[in-house]
Structure 1
């Protein structure tokens, strides 16, 4: 199994989305158990998600809500503070993050979706 497909699936699982066709939770977990690169990627993606906390929009959120502009401003401010933090976005990982969904940056320069 290619790491890029695994990372796409890890991103989907982290976002509560269905796994891509042809991948099972068991197969994903088996790959993750033996691949240090994907373990690291998963850890960074989980850490970023935790750091963003509730600032990430959820599908059930209604963008027409009165507070939507304030929510968007808060999210942008949090994203800017994360990207400005020392040591983030400058890792030596080789993941390009292609095909991972939303395009949220992870510390190794890849993407988590």
Structure 2
């Protein structure tokens, strides 16, 4: 089984979502038992999620709560950098220099 598919499933599971069609929890666990890289990826993903939850002021037991993830995303959206105005004559040229 492709590790990318397993990691998609791990991400879904971490977010409290259903596993992708055709992939059972047993197949996921079997792959993890045999794949050190996917186990490492899952460990790092869980650690990152826990750090983000703490930074957002959520207790550890909220790690698997999709509503907590939605609340965090709602708070982060207003803080996103908004694009600034484009000066006349300085429009994006697709990476090419004007001149």
TM range (shorter): 0.5 to 0.7
Counterpart Cα distance in 2 of 1:57 and 1:21: 23
Counterpart Cα distance in 1 of 2:77 and 2:33: 38
Residues 42 and 75 (structure 1), Cα distance of their counterparts in 2 relative to 1, 3 Å cut: farther
What's the TM-score once normalised by structure 1's chain length?
A: 0.52
Q: For this pair of structures, how many residues does the alignment match? A: 67
Look at both structures and tell me which one has the larger radius of gyration over its CA atoms. Answer: 2
Give the one of 43, 55, 69 matched to 1:57. 69
Structure 2: state its 5+ residue gaps.
57-67, 81-99
Which residue in the other structure is 1:16 paired with?
16
CA RMSD of aligned residues (A): 2.6
Which residue in the other structure is 1:33 paired with?
33
Mapping for residues 1-113 of structure 1, pairs under 5 Å:
1-53=1-53, 55=56, 57-58=69-70, 61=71, 71-72=75-76
Residues 13 and 41 (structure 1), Cα distance of their counterparts in 2 relative to 1, 3 Å cut: same
Residues 3 and 72 (structure 1), Cα distance of their counterparts in 2 relative to 1, 3 Å cut: same
Structure 1: state its 5+ residue gaps.
77-113
Shift, 1:73, TM fit: 7.0
Q: Deviations over 1:41-93 (max 9, x none)?
A: 000000000000163632xx4x9xxxx5xx327987xxxxxxxxxxxxxxxxx
Which residue in the other structure is 1:89 paired with?
none
Residues 75 and 32 (structure 1), Cα distance of their counterparts in 2 relative to 1, 3 Å cut: farther
